[in-house]
Amino acid sequence: MTNNDDLAQNANLEPNPGEKKEMKTQTTPHSLADVASSREIKQPGTKPLGSGLEARGVHAWFGAKHALKDVTLDFAAGTVTALIGPSGCGKSTFLRTLNRMHEFIPTAALAGEVLLGGKDIYAAGTDVTKIRLRIGMVFQKPNPFPSMTIGQNVLSGIKLAQLKVSNTDDLLEECLTRAGLWEEAKDRLNEHASALSGGQQQRLCIARSLAVRPEVLLMDEPCSALDPGSTFRIEQTISELSQTMTIVIVTHNMQQAARVSDYSAFMLSDGGPGELIEVAPTTELFSRPRDKRTEDYVTGRFG
């Protein structure tokens, strides 16, 4: 297949996906690596949690502009993967190809496959709404529905997709608890969502995504609009959620990547389309980057 040929050409840039999984965690006196190594790295396959996501040779275009080139990346079930890289490297675009939000841009085009549980989500005849139910998304800016109350917001996905739920109260409590908002919100369920602070709104958005029980959660810089305290809460939430689902998080903040992720993928654009430069367990990427460009970025020489 063409993808494999391309992979072979890019072999010097990318570690073989198979090899990646066998890498061992090592600690080096590197600050980011220290942060990362303080976490226990989850070995893929040890916990059969939901479905993993696999991107195979994904390209993306906006009109004639080639925005993303040949990204092949596995997100094993039950892991947290951070996508890092400077602005404009295509990491958000890549994230949006993973649950088919990319196609909302009128001139968008795409090549490659994204496999969820082994099935291509772009295959003909796929119901896109069902895909998005299985792959949830949290956006950069908290965006609760302002016309709904807090409780209605959490259950909005159920209503939008017309799912049947036997006990909405339980679901409400469960989602808010998992998102770390239950204690603050349990007495305010009938207030409008706009009454919450920014950080609380973002956790509400996470709870909203959880209500439809996705297997994968995509997060597009979920903390970039929040203060440090709220960021800390969200990171805690991510750690707890990663026990039960696959998470892909785009972040500008390398400290954050180091704190929350099992794997990190570094993407870069040299003016042309964004490419995947290196993917490795997070400690590995921050302590012993294989690529010179990754090293420059993680040590703060550019970006």
Report if residue 193 touches another protein, rule: CB under 8 A. Answer: no
CB 161 → another protein: shortest distance, Å?
4
Report if residue 258 touches another protein, rule: CB under 8 A. Answer: no
Report if residue 157 touches another protein, rule: CB under 8 A. Answer: yes
94/114 Cα distance (integer angstroms): 11
Report if residue 240 touches another protein, rule: CB under 8 A. Answer: no
Report if residue 14 touches another protein, rule: CB under 8 A. Answer: no
Report if residue 137 touches another protein, rule: CB under 8 A. Answer: yes
Contacts of 199 (CB under 8 A, 6+ apart): 226, 227, 229, 230, 231, 233, 234
Going residue by residue from 64 to 83, which x/- string records binding to another protein, judged by CB under 8 A?
------x-------------
Report if residue 263 touches another protein, rule: CB under 8 A. Answer: no
Report if residue 5 touches another protein, rule: CB under 8 A. Answer: yes
For residues 44 and 78, is the Cβ–Cβ distance under 8 A? yes
Report if residue 147 touches another protein, rule: CB under 8 A. Answer: yes
SS3 label, residue 233: helix
257/178 Cα distance (integer angstroms): 21
Report if residue 12 touches another protein, rule: CB under 8 A. Answer: no
CB 219 → another protein: shortest distance, Å?
11
Q: Which residue has the tokens 């995947």?
A: 276
Report if residue 164 touches another protein, rule: CB under 8 A. Answer: no
| Beta strand 216-220 pairing with 246-250 | parallel
User: In 10 A of CB 143, how many CB atoms?
Assistant: 14
Report if residue 139 touches another protein, rule: CB under 8 A. Answer: yes
* Nearest residue (CB) to another protein, 47 versus 192: 192
Report if residue 195 touches another protein, rule: CB under 8 A. Answer: no
Give the containing element (helix H, strand E) for 264: strand 263-268
DSSP3 helix / strand / coil % (the chain, rounded to 5): 35, 20, 40
CB 148 → another protein: shortest distance, Å?
8
* Nearest residue (CB) to another protein, 6 versus 34: 6
SS3 label, residue 275: strand
223/235 Cα distance (integer angstroms): 9
Tell me which residues touch another protein (CB under 8 A): 2, 5-6, 8, 57, 59, 61, 70, 99-101, 103-104, 106, 108-112, 122-125, 127-130, 132-133, 136-137, 139, 141, 143-147, 156-157, 159-162, 205, 208-209, 212
